[in-house]
Amino acid sequence: ELEGRLITIVGGNGTVRQFEFDSNGSVGAGRVAISYAAGDTAGALANALAAAIVSRPELGVSAIANGVRLTLRGERSIATPAA
């Protein structure tokens, strides 16, 4: 299940943002939604994650999706808690 899964990114400038996969319009307080629909392909999910990251310019992180691969620049760390 992807719904509610989190990704925490720390930008090179020390800014921290938590991103949450969301298909129902409800995310935790302070989190940035990664909007997706059931049945989305891996490529669509990569695009959704890239869009969510670049929507937060205060992170100072660029994100480019290329197929199922996501390339980040400017991040200090990335964490995905265990499900």
- What is the per-residue pLDDT across 13-25, written as a single tens digit (0 to 9) for each? 999 999 999 999 9
- What is the per-residue pLDDT across 51-65, written as a single tens digit (0 to 9) for each? 999 999 999 999 999
pLDDT band at 30 (very low <50, low <70, confident <90, very high): very high
Residue ranges of alpha helices (H) inside 1-83 are: 42-54
The token pair at 60 is 């100072």
pLDDT band at 83 (very low <50, low <70, confident <90, very high): low
The amino acid at residue 43 is G
Supply the Cα-derived Rg of the chain in whole angstroms: 12
The token pair at 49 is 């994650």
Nearest Cα residue to 2 out of 23, 18, 25: 23
